[in-house]
C-alpha cells in the first residue's frame, strides 16, 4: 500500500493518473472508445488521456453526485443497477465535453459507454483499494 499523507495536489494528480489508466484500458478493450486520431503518436495519445481524465474527474466530482441524487428512486428500485446507466451517461458526457475542447476522445454508443463505464469503475475500485488515503 502507498500512503499519501502529503498535500491535495498529489492526490489530484494521482486520481488523474488512475483515471487515465482506466480510460486507456477501456479504450483498449472496446473498439467504440477511441483516443487520438489514427496515426497519432504515443505521446499525443497519453496527453489526450491525461486531459480527458481531468475532464472525467471534474464530471465525476460535480455532475455525478447531482445525477445520483436525482435518480435515487431508480437506483433503489433497481437495487443499484441504474448506477451502470449513470456511469455510462457520465462517460458519454465526458466524450462530448472532450470533443468540445478539441480533445480527440470518442465513445460511440450507449452500450459501449455501459461497458466502458463498468471497466473504469471496476479498475478505479481496484486501484483505489491499493492506496491509503489517510
Provide the sign of the torsion angle of the four alpha carbons 92, 93, 96, 101, taken in this order: negative
Give the domain extent around 112. 2-132
The pLDDT mean for the chain works out to 89
How confident is the model at residue 8, as a pLDDT?
77
10-64 per-position pLDDT tens digit: 888 888 999 999 999 999 999 999 998 877 788 899 999 999 999 999 999 999 9
Q: 3 pLDDT exceeds 70?
A: no
Q: Report the 3 state secondary structure along 56-80.
A: HHHHHHHHHHHHHHHCHHHHHHCCC
Query: What's the pLDDT score for residue 132?
Result: 62
pLDDT computed for residue 15 by the predictor:
87
pLDDT digits (tens, 9 = 90+) for 55-113: 999 999 999 999 999 999 999 999 999 999 999 999 999 999 999 999 999 999 999 99
Whether 4 has a pLDDT exceeding 60, the answer reads no
**How many domains does the chain fold into?**
1
The structure's pTM equals 0.87
Amino acid at each position: 500500500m502507498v500512503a499519501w499523507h502529503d498535500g491535495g495536489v498529489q492526490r489530484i494528480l494521482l486520481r488523474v493518473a488512475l483515471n487515465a489508466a482506466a480510460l486507456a484500458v477501456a479504450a483498449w478493450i472496446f473498439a467504440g472508445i477511441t483516443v487520438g486520431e489514427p496515426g497519432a503518436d504515443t505521446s499525443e495519445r497519453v496527453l489526450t488521456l491525461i486531459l480527458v481524465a481531468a475532464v472525467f474527474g471534474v464530471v465525476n466530482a460535480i455532475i455525478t453526485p447531482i445525477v445520483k441524487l436525482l435518480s435515487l428512486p431508480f437506483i433503489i428500485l433497481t437495487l443499484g443497477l441504474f448506477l451502470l446507466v449513470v456511469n455510462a451517461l457520465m462517460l458519454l458526457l465526458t466524450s462530448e465535453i472532450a470533443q468540445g475542447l478539441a480533445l480527440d476522445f470518442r465513445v460511440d454508443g450507449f452500450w459501449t459507454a455501459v461497458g466502458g463505464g463498468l471497466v473504469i469503475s471496476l479498475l478505479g475500485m481496484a486501484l483505489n483499494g491499493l492506496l491509503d488515503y489517510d
